[in-house]
A = this chain, B = another copy of it.
Amino acid sequence: MAMEIARTWAEDAKRRVGERVRLKGWVHTVRELGKLVFVVLRDRTGTVQCKIKGQKELAKGLDEETAVELIGAVVEDPRAPDGVEVDVEEVRILAKPVEPPPLQINRSLDVIGMRLETILDHRALSLRHPEIGSVFKVRAELIWAFREFLRQQGFLEVQTPKIVAAGTEGGTALFPVQYFERTAYLAQSPQFYKQMLVGAGYERVFEVGPVYRAEEHNTTRHLNEYISLDYEMGFIDSFYEITQLETELLRFMMEHVARACPRELEIYKAEVPEVPKSIPHLRLDEAVQILKERYDKRCEGDLDPEGEKLLCEYAKARWGSEFVFVTHYPRAKRPMYAMPNEEDPTLTNSFDLLFRGLEITTGGQRIHDYHMLVESIRSRGLDPKDFEFYLEIFKYGMPPHGGLAIGAERLTAQLLGLPNVRQASFFPRDRHRLVP
């Protein structure tokens, strides 16, 4: 099946009536009906009904989840799920289960009920379940579209080190690594490096890579290792260029995933959001005011998860947008590299993007002036000497720039309506989970 059937069996089958095919996959279900044995074979493209007539010995050992090769002729049969099935002539068993699987792959999750912990404990096996594994086809297409759009916009794909000498935010929430005789850390973000590469002359760079947060909280929205979709762009006139590019990027990604993953979206009953021509922008102080006045909800200087949900409700009702930018966070809430706002220097030219009640992006304009950056580092009680490797390029004509990061797991989870971000991570790492 792997090599022989294009996208899905159903799409391709009618054309193949009369052909003799060699299908490879897993035994999804087996059902005896008098002299017939129906075997539904499953591969990465879907399922196909196969029929063993008479020669019941062929069906011997075809337990569920056996890896198998079936050879036979494609025949029309109006009773078959796709109107076609395979009359099996030969069976070759590739690998038999050594014991019955602890999870049932061929029944709806609603029917069998399964805790997320169980699913994650048996991660590789659970991914065979179409309701579980399809998440990652959507995720892969979102990531493909992220890259494709940015390539078209002249961005260079980069890969920056994950073993670093110092943290982006100055030392909190870092995982230490024993790097020969020294202690190093896992990068919290490619922040410093993507900025340095803008200054290195590439002007526009993006990266898809892992980031690490040694945060203790174990919530449905946090992972200690996740995939960050980063971009950074130089020679900007204002930070609205960054939010505008993200708007176009998200539209491209959503339109692509709607085209590429209709079956997967259907499994999750997911609606692909319409990305407005211009996503509404709210200043944080406006947002806090709205929450207080309309929802009697108090947020002090930042939004909490409930605040994010309510603000998305508001944006949906007022502008019909499932996305909303919250801008102008105070300097105290942002890292030392955040660009202060020209009109009110207690604020920054920064933003978060909320989507269906969850923050999926943090971004902003960065300080590009060397002296201002050194001053900002000092004002946080940090020592510019510790950041020399980062600061150097700022001495030699660093253009105005900014960028953002999108959490791949959060974006996927929000799009598909998954209640826990772990469901969009192949092998999640959290406060307690280090295996599989």
Q: Which residues of A contact B (CB under 8 A)?
A: 2-3, 24-27, 42-44, 65-69, 94-99, 101, 122-125, 127-128, 133, 136-137, 140, 143-144, 151, 154, 156-165, 175-180, 182, 184, 186, 193, 196-197, 199-204, 208-210, 212, 214, 216, 224-225, 227, 234-235, 368-371, 389-390, 392-393, 395-400, 408, 426-427, 429, 431, 434-436
Contact = CB atoms under 8 A, between A and B. Distances in A.
Nearest to A214: B180
Nearest to A130: B201
A224 B162 CA distance: 11
Total copies of the chain: 2
Nearest to A241: B3
B399 A24 contact: yes
A397 B95 contact: yes
A365 to B, nearest CB: 13
A5 to B, nearest CB: 10
Contact of A434 (B2, B163, B434): B163
B435 A165 contact: yes
Contacts of A26: 201, 397
A157 B143 contact: yes
Contacts of A393: 124-125
B435 A389 contact: yes
A65 B397 contact: yes
A69 to B, nearest CB: 8
Nearest to A141: B157
Most chain B beta carbons < 10 A, residue from A124, A371, A398, A426: A124
Contact of A209 (B94, B156, B196, B210): B210
Contacts of A95: 368-369, 397-400
24 contacts: A2-B234, A26-B201, A43-B201, A44-B154, A44-B201, A97-B395, A123-B196, A124-B197, A125-B396, A127-B200, A144-B151, A144-B157, A159-B208, A161-B225, A161-B426, A163-B175, A163-B224, A163-B429, A165-B435, A176-B178, A177-B178, A179-B429, A179-B434, A180-B216
B392 A193 contact: no
Contact of A140 (B27, B68, B133, B156): B156
